[in-house]
Structure 1
Amino acid sequence: MSGPTLYVVLVVFGVVVGVASGLLGVGGGTLIVPFLTLAAGFSQHSAEATSLLVILPTAIVGSLVLRRRGVGDLGLALRFGTVGAVGSVLGALLALALPADTLRIVFAIFVGVVGLRLARDGIRGDRSAEPG
């Protein structure tokens, strides 16, 4: 896929990722990485690096919209984000050290486990407060 077709697909998929990020709170990586590897032919390493770059602006905009509605804990986010930034350095170095196939398997297992846990919790009923 290349040229105008790729551009249209990227724009449409970008909107889908943006909506999913704002609606579901997903960072986008669970959508972006599979799309880039399976549909756009990126290597696993390039897809993950590109995904992180894409997530940055979508997460900022989505979190600002939600924050203006009084949802979210800014102090916790800053503390967690600071520690997470340190962890992301270690994670990026580990990702570069792993073969692409191993990285893809680890990613698939992670997404699968998280998906199953979320589905289980959804079936049981979410007991957290709804935004107002």
Structure 2
Amino acid sequence: MSGWTIAAALCLGLGAGVLSGVFGVGGGILFVPTLVLLGLGQVEAGATSLLAIVPTAAVGAARQRSFGNLRVRAALLIGAVSVVGAELGVQIATRIDESVLRRLFGILLLGVAAQLALRAVRRARRYPDPS
């Protein structure tokens, strides 16, 4: 990795993180295209994004536990099922052609964009601008 690649990854990661927080979408929706832009394949970008979620989820769970908001049994169940789901996803993704995988991810991105637009329209109807 060159210094430029590392600097670009840091800038794109920070930007994607901010946008993820502002728009309320999962970071993977923004991180995967960013990683592909940096030269990773679709499968590697998805796997890297999933790995990046682990420390974020751990810190978030610890923080919410300190507030008394964590249901440990439910969290462990969701975590275990997520591991199984991730493994199934890997098995499927490694069998699909890279171009098909990118197209499917593009469709997912369009769906997320539509959902964000719909949410904005609903919010505007619910809370009209008083001016």
Which TM-score band applies after superposition, normalised by the shorter structure? 0.7 to 0.9
Residue aligning to 2:4: 5
1:87 is paired with a residue whose SS is helix
- How far the C-alpha of 1:99 sits from its partner, in A, is 0.4
Aligned-pair identity in percent equals 40
Bigger shift: residues 16-25 or 75-84: 16-25
Selected match of 1:57 from 51, 55, 58: 55
**Deviation digits for residues 11-58 of structure 1, max 9, x if unmatched?**
2233334445555554421111111112x1111122112221222223
**AA in 1 matched with 2:12:** F
CA RMSD of aligned residues (A): 3.0
> How many pairs were matched up?
125
Residue aligning to 2:129: none
- Partner Cα distance (2:6, 2:106) in 1: 27
Structure index of larger Rg: 2
Bigger shift: residues 106-115 or 70-79: 70-79
Task: Using CA pairs under 8 Å that are at least 6 residues apart, name the structure with larger relative contact order, 1 or 2.
Answer: 1
Residue aligning to 1:32: 31
Tell me if the contact between 1:36 and 1:47 (Cα under 8 Å) persists in the aligned partners: yes
**Deviation digits for residues 54-84 of structure 1, max 9, x if unmatched?**
2222333344445545666554433333222
**With structure 1 as the length reference, what TM-score do the two structures score?**
0.72
Residue aligning to 2:91: 93
**With structure 2 as the length reference, what TM-score do the two structures score?**
0.73
- How far the C-alpha of 1:100 sits from its partner, in A, is 0.4
Structure 1 regions of 5+ residues with no counterpart?
128-132
**AA in 1 matched with 2:56:** T
Tell me if the contact between 2:36 and 2:42 (Cα under 8 Å) persists in the aligned partners: yes
**Deviation digits for residues 85-125 of structure 1, max 9, x if unmatched?**
21211111000000000111111111211331233133213
